[in-house]
Structure 1
Amino acid sequence: MTNYDVLRVFCAPNGGYGNELGVVRDGSVLPDPAGRQELAAELGFSETVFVDDPERGVVDIYTPTSRLPFAGHPCVGTAWLLDVPELVTPAGVVGARLDGEFSWIEARPEWAPPRTLRQYDTAAEVDDLAVPPPGERSETGAPADEVRGRVYAWAWEDEPAGRVRARAFPGRGDGIDEDEATGAAALLLTERLGRALNITQGAGSQILTAPQPEGWVEIGGRVRLER
């Protein structure tokens, strides 16, 4: 059996919630992409990371059904685990830093997969949403297979304070009906709104964001080692 760590990323202040992440620290034990995809499907996390060079932070990210050039909570969690100043992903180099209890990465919105950012009037409406069917057409008019049903539902809890209530529905049809915490979606929402955000997602996870110069965005949260 391939050894792997399990983290929770974007935990609440009490250390609860957060999105589970699998990290294979020694990616050389499973170098073949097909083997990595098979393990990611077997583990069943929303994402699994294979570390190909722990000193340089070279990583390879998989969902249960596909390989991703970039993903938010895998990068936040893996940067914390490896304690490196950057990660090298297929999308580009992701800056990383630790600030007290928070692990931060710096990434570009164009690296995130496209998705529908759907605003609701109240946080209660977001709470009451049912999981939408996979393959829903995007509000931008993109083909359904282009957005793969990804919907990020959000509402202001306190607009002056930048507090947001959100839920994420990946719509991939791979058994992950809802993501507990989604850094890439928070990245896109921050770009759209152009301001720092304090997002409560899923059952109670917390994601912090902050726009940076030249189109970069920082995403931060608490990380816990489960096992």
Structure 2
Amino acid sequence: MACLDDLVTPDIRFLRVFGDPNGDHGNVLGVVRDGRAFPGEESRQALARQLRLSETVFIDDAQRGVVDIYTPGTRLPFAGYPLVGVAWLLGLERLELPVGSIPVRRADGFTWIRARADWVPPRTLREYGSVQEVDALAVPEPGEWVYAWAWQDVAAGRIRARGFPGRGDGIDEDEATGAAALLLADRLGRAVTVTQGSGSQIMAAPGPDGTTDIGGRVCVMENPAC
């Protein structure tokens, strides 16, 4: 991660998405509030590379919820935690992406989006026999996006997970991956609560007509650290 203190401006906001009940953990998201400050894919990719966050979002139309998402190395048609974060920030009922229109709702301190599993870029969901096995994993070699998971409590729908993007772009492990949790809930056909990374918490549940909802807590990072 870059030294974010040097990059905080009125145009760039940093959020913590999928935090725990105490406001800790969560994946740090960079949000460019006015996408016109970075016109064109090349300048946006350069900023995302400089920030070195899992994802950076550019708001192109704050009234309609039109946004553009980048990792340090590529542009994404869809991603989970950036959309939950920007939905919370904008306070809209819908976001607009190339893949389609994303409904948004809020309840009990959580922000939720509704999406389809086939919008998610490829991920390998790899189940392990125990939480201890997941926690003991080393970062795999680049080449495959792996979401490693195990049941903590089957009856309660509680899952332990870790995400390894495998892109070779400096993000060896993802702190919280909403899109992968969406895929997992879709595959399992049930609601789950995922604890990922150092303690981030993601909620996911099947929705109507083949959709899946993902949600979590979001807060502003007032003093981003280096």
TM range (shorter): over 0.9
Who is 1:160 aligned against? 155
Amino acid at match of 1:94: I
Cα displacement string for residues 135-156 of structure 1 (whole angstroms, at most 9, x for unaligned residues): 1xxxxxxxxxxxxx10000000
The aligned residue for residue 219 of structure 1 is 214
Query: Are 2:177 and 1:182 aligned?
Result: yes
1:12 aligns with 2:20: yes
Alignment of 1:1-227 (within 5 A): 3-135=11-143, 149-227=144-222
Shift of 1:190: 0.7
For residue 43 of structure 2, give the secondary structure of its aligned residue in structure 1: helix
Q: Deviations over 1:37-87 (max 9, x none)?
A: 001100111000000000100000000000000000000000000000011
Structure 2 unaligned runs (5+)?
Answer: 1-6
> Which amino acid counterpart does residue 34 of structure 1 have in structure 2?
E
Q: Percent identity?
A: 62
SS for the counterpart of 2:217 is strand
Give 1:213 deviation, angstroms.
1.4
* Runs of 4+ that moved beyond 6 A: none
* CA displacement at 1:29 relative to structure 2: 1.3
Please give the root-mean-square deviation of Cα atoms over the aligned residues, in Å.
Answer: 0.9
Task: Please state how far the C-alpha of 1:100 moved relative to its aligned partner.
Answer: 2.1
Aligned length: 214
> Following the alignment from structure 1 to structure 2, what is the Cα–Cα distance between the partners of residues 84 and 201?
27
C-alpha separation in 2, matches of 1:93 and 1:34: 25
User: Whole-Å Cα distance in 2 between the matches of residues 170 and 29 of structure 1?
Assistant: 28
Retained in 1: the 8 A contact 2:58–2:67? yes
Q: Which amino acid aligns with 1:223?
A: V
Q: Secondary structure at the match of 1:79?
A: helix
Superimposed CA distance per residue, residues 118-146 of structure 1 (whole angstroms, 9 cap, x where no aligned partner) = 000001110110000011xxxxxxxxxxx
Structure 2 length as normaliser, TM-score? 0.93
Specify every segment of 5 or more residues in structure 1 that has no aligned partner in the other structure, as ranges.
136-148
- Give the residue type in structure 1 aligned to 2:64: R
Q: Give, in angstroms, the shift of residue 30 of structure 1.
A: 1.1
Between 1:51-60 and 1:85-94, the stretch displaced more is 85-94
Preserved contact between residue 186 and residue 205 of structure 2 (Cα < 8 Å): no
User: Structure 1, residues 70-118: CA drift from partner, whole Å, max 9, x if none?
Assistant: 0000000000000000110111111111112101000110011111100
